[in-house]
């Protein structure tokens, strides 16, 4: 067996003693991306960016410097490790994170609290990164693609309410109560030995259902104060929205992103709780233009962003948009959109609308 093992590449003996301790820096090659994270974060003024704890307090237990936690946060997202518990484990076993943090290993709660308490600071870091890209001349092409993605919230669909959902649930509860009341009447005609236990169980069920009815009545009152007629109990900002699958939906957020065409860098992003993209074209295009430092911009989007109002706002701001025209059923076109389209045909701005029916539609501005 020993002779055969020599025909394979052999590892080092785990008990091998070295004369000098190995340097952690030797395990991270010069072109490793973690060195970029290190250089970028070390140049940031975290206090001015709004991070808590950037200036240490005189008293109390020493805390982790926010730069250490920010490096962990950035590393996690670059490597698709988003769970705070997984990041805790990676800090203990991942050589790159050991190098990045100086062998520090914060627990998951510290990582999660940092993410929760420094939303403004993290957003400012994103802006600073975009500014760095501008300084490096990475946005040479004034062309961006805009799209949205749906992300689940911690709020389940059962904990999201509309007036229709509440009415439907209350009707189901009323039917259940009626069934239990009928069962109670039947129990009255059974043998006395069986009557007491069954009656108690049914009465308990009725009491719980009536308590649910009272809770739903309170939810219905809260719904009256909601502008969009929705109420999420676990994550108040999350909203129910349709997804691409037929008949499917989720409770979550619609994250809007503008990406530059050359290097695929995110230049602008915004988290919304609107299930539709129809009102997002102009705000995202303007945010991308400002972030890139351009006076004029071209933006590409899908047909979900098509509205006459949004197209006109982009044209007025010097932003040329290219997007496909949605297919409308007869009689469903919005009158305001039609009027705006007629005006846009006469505008000199480069507003291009691609259609699936080239024989009947022409590009705007032609």
Q: What is the pLDDT of residues 235-248, one digit of tens each?
A: 999 999 988 766 67
74 part of a folded domain = yes
Question: 90 and 106: one domain?
Answer: yes
Question: 91 and 212: one domain?
Answer: no
Spatial separation of the C-alpha atoms in residues 181 and 174, rounded to whole Å = 10
Task: With a cut of 60, say whether residue 366 has pLDDT above it.
Answer: no
- The average pLDDT across 1-8 equals 61
Q: What mean pLDDT is reported for the chain? A: 85
Task: With a cut of 70, say whether residue 74 has pLDDT above it.
Answer: yes
Q: Which of residues 200 and 170 earns the better pLDDT score?
A: 170
CA distances, 96 to each of 20, 32, 112, 113, 357 (Å)? 21, 9, 20, 23, 53
Please say whether the beta carbons of 354 and 325 come within 8 A.
yes
Question: 311 and 271: one domain?
Answer: yes
Please say whether the beta carbons of 127 and 291 come within 8 A.
yes
Angle at the Cα of 124 from the Cα atoms of 121 and 128, rounded to 5 degrees: 135
> Lowest mean pLDDT: which of 10-14, 204-208, 221-225, 267-271?
10-14
Question: Which of 229, 258, 280 is the C-terminal boundary of a domain?
Answer: 229
Question: 57 and 104: one domain?
Answer: yes
| Sign of the dihedral defined by the CA atoms of residues 353, 359, 365, 366, in that order | positive
6 part of a folded domain = no
Spatial separation of the C-alpha atoms in residues 65 and 128, rounded to whole Å = 19
7 part of a folded domain = no
Question: 202 and 75: one domain?
Answer: no
Q: What pLDDT score was predicted for residue 338?
A: 55
Q: What pLDDT score was predicted for residue 184?
A: 80
Q: What pLDDT score was predicted for residue 98?
A: 95
Residue 144: its H or E element:
strand 143-152
- The average pLDDT across 11-24 equals 80
Question: 97 and 112: one domain?
Answer: yes
Question: 23 and 44: one domain?
Answer: yes
Angle at the Cα of 119 from the Cα atoms of 55 and 266, rounded to 5 degrees: 115
Question: 129 and 147: one domain?
Answer: no
Percentage of the chain exceeding pLDDT 70? 84
Question: 308 and 200: one domain?
Answer: no
- The average pLDDT across 62-79 equals 94
325 part of a folded domain = yes
10 part of a folded domain = no
Closest to 67 measured CA to CA, from 29, 43, 41:
41
Question: 147 and 99: one domain?
Answer: no
| Sign of the dihedral defined by the CA atoms of residues 74, 77, 78, 79, in that order | positive
Question: 214 and 65: one domain?
Answer: no
Task: With a cut of 80, say whether residue 77 has pLDDT above it.
Answer: yes
**Secondary structure (DSSP) of 33-44:** HHHHHHHHHHT-
Task: With a cut of 70, say whether residue 337 has pLDDT above it.
Answer: no
Spatial separation of the C-alpha atoms in residues 141 and 359, rounded to whole Å = 32
pLDDT band at 140 (very low <50, low <70, confident <90, very high): confident
Question: 215 and 248: one domain?
Answer: no
Q: What pLDDT score was predicted for residue 346?
A: 45
Fill in the DSSP letter of residue 278.
T
Closest to 288 measured CA to CA, from 177, 143, 168:
143
Domain of residue 86, residue span? 17-135
Q: Which of residues 130 and 1 earns the better pLDDT score?
A: 130
Spatial separation of the C-alpha atoms in residues 95 and 344, rounded to whole Å = 57
Q: Which of residues 6 and 343 earns the better pLDDT score?
A: 6
Spatial separation of the C-alpha atoms in residues 71 and 101, rounded to whole Å = 7
Rounded-to-5 percentages of helix, strand, coil across the chain: 50, 15, 40
Task: With a cut of 50, say whether residue 157 has pLDDT above it.
Answer: yes
> Lowest mean pLDDT: which of 119-128, 133-142, 310-319, 341-350?
341-350
Fill in the DSSP letter of residue 352.
E
Return the structure tokens found at 15. 């008990």
Q: What pLDDT score was predicted for residue 68?
A: 96
125 part of a folded domain = yes
Question: Which of 192, 213, 229 is the C-terminal boundary of a domain?
Answer: 229
- The average pLDDT across 10-23 equals 79
Task: With a cut of 70, say whether residue 219 has pLDDT above it.
Answer: yes
295 part of a folded domain = yes
pLDDT band at 341 (very low <50, low <70, confident <90, very high): low
Q: What pLDDT score was predicted for residue 274?
A: 92
Structural domains counted in the chain: 3
Closest to 303 measured CA to CA, from 325, 276, 330, 332:
325
Q: What's the gap between Cα 184 and its chain centre?
A: 50
């Amino acid at each position: 067996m020993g002779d055969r093992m020599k025909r394979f590449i052999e590892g080092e003996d785990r008990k091998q003693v070295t004369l000098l301790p190995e340097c952690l820096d030797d395990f991270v090659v010069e072109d490793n991306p973690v060195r970029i994270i290190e250089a970028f974060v070390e140049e940031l003024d975290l206090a001015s960016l709004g991070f808590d704890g950037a200036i240490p307090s005189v008293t109390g237990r020493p805390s982790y410097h926010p730069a250490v936690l920010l490096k962990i946060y950035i590393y996690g997202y670059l490597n698709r490790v988003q769970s705070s518990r997984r990041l805790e484990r990676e800090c203990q076993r991942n050589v790159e994170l050991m190098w990045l943090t100086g062998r520090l290993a914060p627990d998951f709660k510290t990582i999660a609290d940092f993410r929760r308490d420094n939303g403004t600071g993290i957003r400012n870091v994103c802006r600073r990164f975009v500014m760095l890209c501008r300084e490096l001349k990475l946005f040479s092409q004034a062309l961006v693609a805009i799209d949205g993605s749906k992300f689940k919230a911690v709020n389940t669909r059962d904990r999201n309410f509309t007036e229709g959902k509440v009415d439907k649930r209350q009707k189901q509860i009323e039917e259940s109560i009626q069934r239990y009341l009928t069962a109670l009447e039947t129990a009255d005609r059974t043998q006395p030995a069986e009557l007491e236990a069954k009656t108690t169980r049914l009465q308990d069920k009725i009491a719980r259902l009536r308590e649910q009815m009272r809770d739903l009545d309170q939810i219905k009152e809260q719904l009256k104060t909601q502008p969009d007629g929705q109420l999420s109990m676990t994550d108040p900002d999350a909203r129910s929205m349709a997804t691409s699958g037929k008949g499917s939906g989720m409770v979550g957020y619609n994250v809007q992103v503008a990406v530059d065409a050359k290097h695929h860098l995110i230049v602008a992003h915004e988290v919304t709780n609107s299930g539709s993209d129809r009102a997002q074209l102009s705000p995202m295009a303007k945010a991308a233009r400002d972030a890139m430092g351009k006076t004029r911009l071209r933006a590409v989007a899908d047909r979900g962003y098509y509205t006459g109002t949004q197209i006109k706002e982009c044209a007025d701001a010097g932003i040329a948009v290219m997007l496909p025209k949605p297919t409308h059923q007869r009689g469903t076109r919005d009158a305001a959109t039609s009027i705006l389209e007629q005006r846009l045909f006469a505008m000199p701005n480069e507003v291009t609308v691609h259609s699936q029916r080239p024989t009947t539609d022409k590009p705007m501005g032609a």
